Amino acid sequence: MTVAAQQPAPVTTPNAGGGRRVVVHDVWKSYTPGTYAVRNVGFALEPGEFLTLLGPSGSGKTTTLMMIAGFETPSRGEIRVNGIDVAGLPPELRNFGIVFQGYALFPHKSVLHNVEFALLMRGVARRERRRRALDMLDKVGLAGLAARRPRELSGGQQQRVALARALVFEPDALLLDEPLGALDRKLRETLQAEIKEIQRRVGISILYVTHDQDEAMTMSDRIAVMNDGRIVQIGTPAELYLHPATPFVADFLGETNLLTATCLGTDGGHVRLRFADGAIGWAAAARDGVARRIGDSVTVAIRPERIRVLRRTDSTETMIDGTVGGGTFLGRHARYVVAALGGRLVVSVGGGDPDSALDAGTIVRLGWSRDDAQILGEPEAPPEPDQRR
Amino acid sequence: MASPDRAHGRRFYPLMVAACVPVLAFLVLPTLVIVPMALTAGDLIVFPPQGISGHAFADYLGDQQWMQSTKLSFEVAVLAVAIAALAGTSAAVALHGKRFPGRGAVTGLILAPIVVPLVVLGLGDYLLFAALGVLGGWAGIGVAHGVLVTPYVYISVATSLAAGLNPALVRSARSLGARPTSVFRHVYWPALRPGLCAGAVLAFAVSFDEVVLAWFLQGPQSTTLPVRMFTAVQFELTPKIMASASLFIGLATLTLLAQALIARPRRDLV
């Protein structure tokens, strides 16, 4: 069978459950021999799921998306849709809806013709095309603007046209490549909510690429954090935030305190530690599956808002003393820098009650429960593909 | 309030007028003088014309040889434009946004007809066509002109694409299921159309009044209008020359008007 003889996936195929399972399996991408832009990337996008590839620029997240879309060819690995490998197909023969940064609407076509385009390419009859395009425009709340040109629309309306255009042919999944990258914060938040709302209404699975951790946290069911071509950790926003696997993840997803400690022993999923100044405390075991032995030096991450300022009567599993160095009142919470454990700890206190403000020089007792602190690991570099086997 | 730059410019305004007016006059007047000379009542090419009459135009329109040359020039120009439109557009689309070693050389080759001396090109075409035994036909002149005017279409279309084609549009069309032909029709074509029109108009104008190649490649039945005028200037010197020259001025004016209309910025291409 030649490629030219193939048709884009027919639109009538049943597509229940809001998309198909898309599996990326052991995908590598190399542009120059010996260096990899994407290494050993693997994950599954479940039907109806919102999965975000999050990472700094150059981390391989857009390259990964473009390989799924078909604009880049993996050097090795498989991209499976419902179990069928599509890695060898050109983009026009795959069945993904894509929303690009800037939306890339056809400037010379009306909103209706933009949305109809994929159906036209699939040979859907004119009347049916029109009906389905108008139906989709109705779903995104733009039915009244079908005759307009894209440049006559606001940024938010353009995004809705782009979503309608990418959804009208019932794609296997929706791929979004930093669609909000160039917009200001306020508009971003509105459009994030719109994307979520349309996803809820249409019930499609979404793979979303962004470098903005707030965006990833608000929108995603799961986040895959990428760095240096690899997925460093994949999990729900809460898992990643509270139990980061590596210093990179801890640092990339918001502010964190990194502490050095010595391992004193383990108890189930937790580790007893001695900090630099001799204080004893607990933290959750590392997520890398490597057991720490007694005497090992470890890095511990703890979020500023997970550290509590204890009253005289309070008691918790880990308690340490410190001296308040300075504070900033930030409205919903106050942020203090406390000298403790032979270093500086950032502590965030909620409530914002001015009466409970801590003056510089106050001696305070801080504490956290064993699940609030997380021992970090370093992921092992996967072997180069040529060296395997 | 005028900016300092403007004030600065205004100071040199008289100087600009002093420089430009004579140059423009020198360029335009000899052209404009053609039309009254074509309207002479006499049989000589003189200025001022001896009386006013339309007989030069009547002579020109009534002369079968001259009419045949005029028709031939149109045919040649149409063929040349067709070749240039196909070759120039293909080249511009193929090279758009591509980077590869030797790209400069390829571009240079496409643009070469502009810089290669016409006499050399004409002689080369003459020898080639003679060797192939196709010398003396209008199609040969059309092909030679096609090569000559391809760069005009190429430059014009390439500029249009560079300014009006968003590369993300190609990707978005493909992601929606568009194969190469549909990508061309729905993405490239709307972006390159203004450039193609402008380039074609220019190519037509260049071919229509080209003398050197047409001279080398002419045959008994294939003398283009400019070549006939050139010959007539040497041997006949009738006001018919002026009448046909007026036709050129009219065409040139139309060309400029067409260019001005086509070149109007189209906001919907961004």
Q: Which two tokens stand for residue B92?
A: 């511009």
In angstroms, rounded to a whole number, what is the distance separating the alpha carbons of residues A52 and A61? Answer: 9
Reduced to 3 states, what is the DSSP secondary structure of residue A22?
A: strand
CA pair distance B89, B108, nearest whole angstrom:
16
Rounded to 10 degrees, what is the CA torsion of A314, A319, A321, A324? -70
Task: Check if the beta carbon of residue B218 is closer than 8 Å to that of residue B171.
Answer: no
Question: Nearest C-alpha of chain A: how many angstroms from B44?
Answer: 56
Is any Cβ of chain A less than 8 angstroms from the Cβ of B270? yes
b/e for B76-93, b at 16 or more Cβ within 10 A? bbebbbebbbebbbebbb
ipTM of predicted complex: 0.79
Check if the beta carbon of residue B224 is closer than 8 Å to that of residue B218: yes
Other C-beta atoms within 10 Å of A124: how many? 21
DSSP string over B109-172: HHHHHHHS-HHHHHHHHHHHHHHHT-TT-HHHHHHHHHHHHHHHHHHHHHHHHHHH--HHHHHH
Token digits of residue A33: 């021999």
- Is A169 in Cβ contact with B177 (below 8 Å)? yes
- Residue A343: the pLDDT is 81
Contact A101 B168 (CB under 8 A): yes
Q: In chain B, which residue's Cα lies nearest the Cα of A70?
A: B175
Give the one of A70, A104, A118 whose C-beta lies nearest to B168's C-beta: A104
| Partner B contacted by A107 (CB < 8 A) | yes
Verify whether the Cβ–Cβ distance B270 to A107 is below 8 Å: yes
Cβ within 8 Å, pair A166-B176: yes
Q: What local confidence, expressed as pLDDT, does residue A52 receive?
A: 95
Q: Do B175 and A69 touch (CB under 8 A)?
A: yes
Tell me the two tokens of residue B144: 């030679």
Q: Residue A189 is encoded by which pair of tokens? A: 């938040």
Per-residue confidence (pLDDT) for residue B247, from 0 to 100: 85
Task: Give me the mean pLDDT over the A315-333 stretch.
Answer: 82
Give residue A379's pLDDT band: very low, low, confident or very high (50, 70, 90). low
* B172 burial via Cβ count (<10 Å: 0-12, 13-18, 19+): buried
Asked if B172 lies within 8 A of A100 by C-beta distance, the reply is: yes
The superfamily in CATH containing domain B57-269 is MetI-like (1.10.3720.10)
- Which residues 166-225 of chain A have a CB within 8 Å of chain B? 166, 169
pTM above 0.90, yes or no: no
Q: What is the 3-state secondary structure (H, E, C) of B186-250?
A: HHHHHHHHHHHHHHHHHHHHHHHCCCHHHHHCCECCECCHHHHHHHHHHHCCCCHHHHHHHHHHH
Nearest-CA distance from B108 to chain A in Å? 29
Where do the CATH 1.10.3720.10 domains begin and end in chain B?
Answer: 57-269
Rounded to the nearest angstrom, the minimum Cα separation between B153 and chain A is 23
Contacts with A151 from chain B: Cβ below 8 Å: 267-268, 270
- For the A255-376 domain, the top CATH level (class) is mainly beta
How many beta carbons lie within 10 A of that of residue A35, not counting itself? Answer: 9
B156-199 pLDDT per residue, tens: 999 999 988 888 899 999 999 999 999 999 999 999 998 999 89
Tell me, what amino acid is at A250? A
Compare A384 and A2 and report the one with higher pLDDT. A384
Cβ distance B53 to B36 under 8 Å? no
Q: Which residues does chain A have within 8 Å of residue B267's beta carbon, measured at their own beta carbons? A: 151
In this prediction, residue A32 has a pLDDT band, given cuts at 50, 70 and 90, of confident
- pLDDT, one tens digit per residue, over B125-159 is 999 999 988 888 888 999 999 999 999 999 999 99
| Buried/exposed code over A299-331 (b: 16+ C-beta within 10 A; e: otherwise) | bbbbbbbbbbbbeeeeebbbbbebebeebeeee
Angle, helices B138-164/B118-132, rounded to nearest 10 degrees = 130
Q: Does A311 touch chain B (CB under 8 A)?
A: no
Residue A116 carries which DSSP code? H
CATH fold for the domain made of A3-242? Rossmann fold (3.40.50)
Task: Compute the distance between CA of residue A165 and CA of residue A160 in angstroms, rounded to an integer.
Answer: 8
B166 CB within 8 Å of a chain A CB: yes
**Partner-chain residue, chosen from A100, A106, A151, that has the shortest CB–CB distance to B267:** A151
C-alpha dihedral (A266, A269, A275, A278), degrees to nearest 10:
-40
Query: A264-290 pLDDT, tens per residue?
Result: 888 878 888 888 888 888 888 888 777
- Token pair, residue A82, equals 């419902």
Q: Percent of chain B scored above 90 by pLDDT? A: 42
Query: Is B189 part of the contact surface with chain A (CB cutoff 8 Å)?
Result: no
- Contact criterion met (CB below 8 Å) for A58 and A248: no
- Structure confidence at residue A383 (pLDDT): 59
Residue B26: pLDDT over 60: yes
> HSE (CB half, 13 Å, CA atoms) of A235?
14
The pLDDT value recorded for residue A4 is 43
Distance from C-alpha of A217 to C-alpha of A222, rounded to nearest angstrom = 9
**Residue A350 dihedral angles phi and psi, to the nearest 5°:** -80, 175
Q: What is the mean pLDDT of residues A162-176?
A: 93
More confident: A381 or A350: A350
Q: How confident is the model at residue A12 (pLDDT cuts 50, 70, 90)?
A: very low
- Mean pLDDT of chain A, nearest integer: 86
Helix (H) and strand (E) counts in chain A:
8, 20
In contact, B175 and A69? CB cutoff 8 Å: yes
The model's confidence at residue A168, banded by pLDDT at 50, 70 and 90, is very high
- Rounded to the nearest integer, the mean pLDDT of chain B is 86
Report d(CA A19, CA A293) in Å as an integer.
Answer: 45
Location of structure tokens 């160095």: A325
Is B5 near chain A, with CB under 8 Å? Answer: no
Confidence tier at B240 by pLDDT (50, 70, 90): confident
Range with the largest mean pLDDT of A83-97, A325-339, B44-58: A83-97
Please indicate if any CB of chain B lies within 8 Å of the CB of A118.
Answer: yes
Question: Are the Cβ atoms of A108 and B269 closer than 8 angstroms?
Answer: yes
| Contact across the interface for B177 and A118, Cβ inside 8 Å | yes
The answer to whether the Cβ–Cβ distance between B175 and A166 falls below 8 Å is yes
Residues facing A347 on adjacent strands: A336
What band does A387 get if pLDDT is binned at 50, 70 and 90? very low
Encode pLDDT of A106-156 as tens digits.
999 999 999 999 999 999 999 999 999 999 999 888 888 999 999 999 888
Nearest by CB to residue A118, choosing from B169, B176, B270, is B176
Distance (Å, whole) CA B132 – CA A369: 94
DSSP A327-343: EEE-SSEEEEEEEETTE
Distance, CA of A69 to CA of A92 (rounded, Å): 9
Nearest to A92 among B168, B178, B187 (CB): B178
pLDDT for residue A13 is more than 60: no
Structure tokens at B265: 């910025």
Tell me the CA distances in angstroms from A157 to A146, A154, A161, one per residue in order: 11, 5, 6
Closest by Cα among A229, A230, A275, A235 to A253: A235
DSSP string, A69-87: HTSS--SEEEEEETTEE-T
Hey, which residues 168-187 in chain B have their CB within 8 Å of chain A?
168-169, 171-179, 182, 186-187
Confidence of residue A71 (pLDDT cuts 50, 70, 90): very high
CB A227 within 8 A of CB A44: no
Is residue A301 within 8 Å of A244, Cβ to Cβ?
yes
pLDDT higher than threshold 80 for residue B100? yes
pLDDT in the model for residue A381? 59
- Which of B178, B187, B267 lies closest to A121 in CB terms? B178
Which residues of A fall within a CB distance of 8 Å from B173? Answer: 106, 117
**Between A and B, how many residue pairs show a Cβ–Cβ distance under 8 A?**
72
pLDDT over threshold 50, residue A91: yes
Q: Taking CB atoms and an 8 Å cutoff, what residues of chain A touch B166?
A: 102, 104, 107
Bridge partner list, A22:
A45, A81
Task: Tell me the C-alpha to C-alpha distance, in Å, between residue A301 and each of A236, A246, A304, A343, A369.
Answer: 18, 9, 10, 14, 13
Say yes or no: B268 contacts chain A, CB-CB below 8 A: yes
Which residues of chain A are in CATH 3.40.50.300 domains? 3-242
The pLDDT tens digits for B45-98 are: 777 777 788 888 888 888 888 899 999 999 999 999 999 999 999 999 999 888
CB A89 within 8 A of CB A74: no
Q: What band does A386 get if pLDDT is binned at 50, 70 and 90? A: low
B146 touches B82 (CB < 8 A): yes
Q: Do B177 and A122 touch (CB under 8 A)?
A: yes
Question: A151, B268: Cβ pair inside 8 Å?
Answer: yes
Query: CA A43, A44, A48 angle in degrees (round to 5)?
Result: 140
Residue A382: the pLDDT is 57
The C-alpha atoms of residue A253 and residue A376 are separated, in whole angstroms, by: 14
Give burial (CB, 10 Å; 0-12/13-18/19+) of B247.
middle
- In this complex, the residue of B168, B173, B176 whose CB is nearest that of residue A102 is B168
User: Do residue A98 and residue B175 have CB atoms under 8 angstroms apart?
Assistant: yes
Check if B269 contacts A (Cβ < 8 Å).
Answer: yes
What is the pLDDT, as a whole number, of residue B182? 94
Q: Report the pLDDT value the prediction gives residue B269, as an integer from 0 to 100.
A: 42
Give the other-Cβ count within 10 Å of A208's Cβ: 27
Q: In 3D, which of B220, B257, B247 has the Cα closest to residue B74? A: B247
Contact at CB, B172 and A104, closer than 8 angstroms: yes
Q: In this model, does residue A226 exceed pLDDT 70? A: yes
pLDDT higher than 70, residue B265:
no
Question: Can you tell me the distance from the alpha carbon of A201 to that of A135, in angstroms, rounded to the nearest whole number?
Answer: 13
In angstroms, how far is CA A244 from the centroid of its own chain? 13
Say what the pLDDT of residue A54 is: 95
Tell me the nearest-neighbour CA distance from A324 into chain B, angstroms. Answer: 53
In contact, A256 and A65? CB cutoff 8 Å: no
**What's the pLDDT band for A389 if we cut at 50, 70, 90?**
very low
pLDDT, tens digit (0-9, with 9 covering 90-100), for A340-362: 887 888 988 876 566 667 788 88
- Residues of chain A contacting residue B193, judged by C-beta atoms under 8 Å apart: none
Closest residue in B to A123 (Cα–Cα): B177
